[in-house]
């Protein structure tokens, strides 16, 4: 029984951040040390990001009106980044994330000609950038008019890799019930937690993270004729023996606090081959190619979570991938930044829409997060 990922859809909020303009705002904040100013300049300039999206309309260059009230995150008149508390940030998350969950979920259903909202049996939502209850799984079911008995699950606070276990859970649900239709939706509003700081980890996070949503339908129902999809062949999860303190996500008094050390690319470089071994082990040709250092020849397409430019560089070098094989990941990083768990869904959609992806092509997907955790999947292009 083939379980497929269909109807891949993405959504972003309307406010665009131009990377060099954001850099200049962060560099001009009061209280920065000279070292912090140098780190800001370097982090933003080498990020390989040109644009990102944010749910915070205050970060645009549009002057506020009296009806808007006082600024909460950014005072355009003074150019100063403000420091709202976690409660204020999370209240915006509850409002703005709900809209993106519903938008992306509706788009995924609409993209599947043979599936209606009434067909959805399960909803799996993903996020690490906010909390509320009733949660996004409830809001999707309510606003999309899903069956009152739809089963709902939320994977929270797992980090950038979380869309992968969500897809794996969806596949398992479909294997247990061949009639299942699982709507998976990931929404991350990372920019709610950006702030001025002298801390290098916080500066790097401010140069990378963005807002976005990704969604798809996982089901054993065959795609409609002519519809492109991914057959979900298998998943694996591995944690590295070191690096637990190098990537973390904690709740602070002024938003969530990211730990993202400069050791992460080196850790991925050291352990990525070992993390792929269990995924490729079930298929002898793939296992042999990985051992021989020719994985890039055995698998046509690579959906690598673009956690940052240096991470993509390390993956490309260690696995001896061709430059073209990371074009989708680098394009998503350039145009959207790092949207945490939603990002790999953007990369998969980029691959599926590409003329380079033919029916029967194999795809390896990987995402990284706290632990250090490496989640991977093998897929096959269908249609």
Give the per-residue pLDDT at 68.
Answer: 79
DSSP 276-308: HHHHHTTSHHHHHHHHHT-HHHH-SEEEE--S-
Domain that holds residue 240: 229-382
91-142 per-position pLDDT tens digit: 999 999 999 999 999 999 999 999 999 999 999 999 999 999 999 999 999 9
Residue 363 DSSP one-character state: E
Residue 141, domain member (yes or no): no
Residue 346, domain member (yes or no): yes
Catalytic residue among 112, 128, 160, 190: 160
Residue 275, domain member (yes or no): yes
Give the per-residue pLDDT at 65.
Answer: 79
In percent, how much of the chain has pLDDT > 90? 89
> Do 312 and 368 touch, CB atoms closer than 8 A?
no
338-358 per-position pLDDT tens digit: 999 999 999 999 999 999 999
How many domains does one find in the chain?
Answer: 1
Residue 28, domain member (yes or no): no
> What gap in Å lies between CA 241 and CA 158, rounded to an integer?
18
> What gap in Å lies between CA 357 and CA 215, rounded to an integer?
20
| Residues of the chain predicted below pLDDT 50 | none
Give me the helices (H) in the chain, please: 19-27, 34-45, 86-110, 136-143, 163-176, 200-208, 264-280, 284-292, 295-298, 309-318, 327-336, 343-353
> Do 290 and 273 touch, CB atoms closer than 8 A?
yes
Residue 210, domain member (yes or no): no
- Quote the pTM value: 0.96
Give the per-residue pLDDT at 283.
Answer: 95
Of the candidates 316, 329, 114, the residue with the CA atom closest to the CA atom of residue 229: 114
Residue 274, domain member (yes or no): yes
**Residue 250: how many other CB atoms lie within 10 Å:** 10
Query: Which residues pair with residue 17 across a beta bridge?
Result: 52
Give the per-residue pLDDT at 1.
Answer: 85
**Pairing, β 301-304 against β 362-369:** parallel
**The pair of three-digit structure tokens given for residue 6, joined into one six-digit string:** 């269909």
Residue 260, domain member (yes or no): yes
Helix (H) or strand (E) holding 4: strand 4-11
> What gap in Å lies between CA 100 and CA 186, rounded to an integer?
9
Quote the mean pLDDT of the chain: 95
- Would residue 112 show up in a list of annotated catalytic residues for this protein? no
CATH of the domain at 258: 3.40.47.10
Residues with Cβ within 8 Å of 48's Cβ and at least 6 positions away in sequence, in order, are 309, 330, 333, 334
Give the per-residue pLDDT at 263.
Answer: 85
Of the candidates 383, 10, 8, 9, the residue with the CA atom closest to the CA atom of residue 222: 383
Residue 133, domain member (yes or no): no
């Amino acid at each position: 029984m083939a379980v497929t990922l269909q109807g891949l859809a993405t959504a972003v909020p309307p406010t665009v951040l131009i990377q060099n303009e954001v850099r200049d705002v962060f560099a001009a904040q009061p209280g920065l040390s000279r070292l912090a100013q140098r780190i800001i300049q370097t982090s933003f300039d080498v990020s390989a990001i040109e644009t990102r999206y944010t749910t915070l309309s205050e970060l645009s260059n549009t002057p506020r009106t009296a009806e808007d009230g006082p600024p909460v995150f950014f005072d355009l008149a003074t150019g100063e980044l403000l420091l709202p508390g976690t409660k204020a940030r999370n209240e915006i998350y509850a409002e703005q994330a709900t809209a993106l969950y519903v938008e992306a979920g509706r788009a995924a259903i609409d993209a599947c000609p043979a599936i209606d909202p009434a067909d959805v049996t399960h909803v799996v939502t993903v996020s690490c950038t906010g909390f509320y209850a009733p949660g996004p799984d409830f809001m999707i079911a309510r606003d999309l008019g899903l069956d009152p008995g739809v089963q709902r699950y939320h994977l929270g606070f797992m980090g950038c890799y979380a869309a992968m276990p969500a897809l794996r859970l969806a596949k398992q649900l479909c294997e247990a019930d061949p009639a299942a239709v699982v709507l998976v939706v990931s929404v991350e509003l990372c920019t709610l937690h950006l702030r001025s700081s002298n801390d290098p980890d916080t500066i790097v996070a401010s140069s990378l993270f963005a807002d976005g949503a990704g969604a798809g339908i996982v089901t054993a129902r065959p795609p409609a004729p002519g519809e492109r999809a991914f057959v979900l062949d298998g998943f694996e999860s591995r944690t590295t023996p070191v690096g637990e303190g190098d990537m973390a996500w904690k709740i602070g008094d002024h938003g969530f606090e990211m730990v993202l050390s400069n050791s992460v690319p080196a850790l991925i470089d050291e352990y990525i081959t070992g993390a792929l071994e269990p995924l490729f082990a079930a298929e002898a040709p793939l296992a042999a190619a990985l051992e021989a250092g020719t994985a890039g020849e055995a698998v046509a397409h690579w959906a690598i979570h673009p956690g940052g430019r240096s991470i993509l560089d390390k993956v490309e070098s260690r696995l001896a991938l061709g430059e073209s094989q990371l074009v989708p990941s680098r394009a998503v990083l350039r145009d959207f930044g790092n949207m945490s768990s939603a990002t790999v869904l953007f990369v998969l959609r980029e691959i599926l829409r590409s003329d380079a992806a033919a029916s029967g092509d194999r795809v390896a997907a990987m995402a990284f997060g706290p632990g250090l955790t490496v989640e991977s999947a093998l897929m096959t292009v269908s249609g």
